[in-house]
Amino acid sequence: MVGSGKTQLTVDEAIAVIKKSFLPTVVIEGLDDVIVYRKVEDIGDGFISLLPVGGRDNVLSIYDRRDEFIDKSVAFIADKDLWVLTGIPSNYQSRNLIFTDGYSIENDVFRDVNVLNLMTNAEKESFGKELERFLKWFSIALSRNLNGDCSELKIHPNQVLDDDNEFDRMIRLNDNEIFPNELHDEILRDYSVKLRGKSLFALAIRNLSYKGRPVRHNHHSIMEHAVSRPGSLVEKIYSGVEKVFV
């Protein structure tokens, strides 16, 4: 696997790596994604290189410059992010560009692993309450983002949930702003697909890793579980890569 060191490749450096490689290459977002995507290295004759490039924007930027390495065999995997709500633009609909089914790979893993089944009834109840509380903030932030305000969506649930005063501040509406009820209800109905995946994982792990729990899970262990027995959503990504190279 190329690009596994601590130094993050720039877009130009990643393209230079692709141009020099004699192997088919799969461009992916980050190092954590390697946990799920490493199995694509075994597709076909088992000579495929994974290239983490430091995020979705970089994956798409490299895809936009694919004419610079048109003689190379390259596939791309990216999270849908907000396109899970708005749809994938036509210029990014391609056999070589494979998107997650949900907001991110964490959403697909969450559903494939059936993370809720790892919880006791009490943990499920706690998770549900925290999810509803978190979505009050997330819906506001997401609505602002969709309306072009670029509101921050990457705030950890702990920051939203663990301080009542901070929570009240974070869900305070601006002048003439209306709470986005339809968006909130849409995400709540389909949270495993449409809630930001890392936030979804963090909410689940709050209820799967507390002190005294007999088995304590973390982000990486759940991702690893998805690889040991791939479900339909992760398999769909593997299949998409296979169609590019085989």
CA distance 166 to 141: 15
Question: Does the residue 109 lie in any domain?
Answer: no
pLDDT band at 7 (very low <50, low <70, confident <90, very high): low
Burial per residue of 106-134, b for 16 or more beta-carbon CB atoms within 10 angstroms, e otherwise: bbbbbbbbebeebbeeebeebbeebbebb
Number of domains, the chain: 2
Do residues 241 and 234 touch, judged by C-beta distance below 8 A?
A: no
Q: Are residues 29 and 86 in the same domain?
A: yes
Question: Does the residue 92 lie in any domain?
Answer: yes
> What pTM did the predictor assign?
0.93
Q: Which residue has the tokens 């020099």?
A: 20
Question: Does the residue 224 lie in any domain?
Answer: no
Quick check: helix, strand or coil at residue 96? Answer: coil
The mean pLDDT value of the chain amounts to: 94
Question: Does the residue 222 lie in any domain?
Answer: no
φ, ψ (nearest 5 deg) of residue 215: -120, 125
User: Exposed/middle/buried for 3, CB within 10 Å: 0-12, 13-18, 19+?
Assistant: buried
Q: Are residues 144 and 92 in the same domain?
A: no
Q: Are residues 19 and 73 in the same domain?
A: yes
Strands 97-99, 49-52: pairing kind: unpaired
For the segment 35-79, what is each residue's pLDDT rounded down to a tens digit? 999 988 888 776 899 999 999 999 999 999 999 999 999 999 999
φ, ψ (nearest 5 deg) of residue 43: -65, 145
* CATH assignment of the domain containing 50: 3.40.50
Q: Are residues 26 and 89 in the same domain?
A: yes
Q: Which domain holds residue 88?
A: 11-101+230-245
Q: Looking at residues 221-227, what average pLDDT do you find?
A: 93
Q: Are residues 234 and 188 in the same domain?
A: no
CA distance 211 to 36: 27
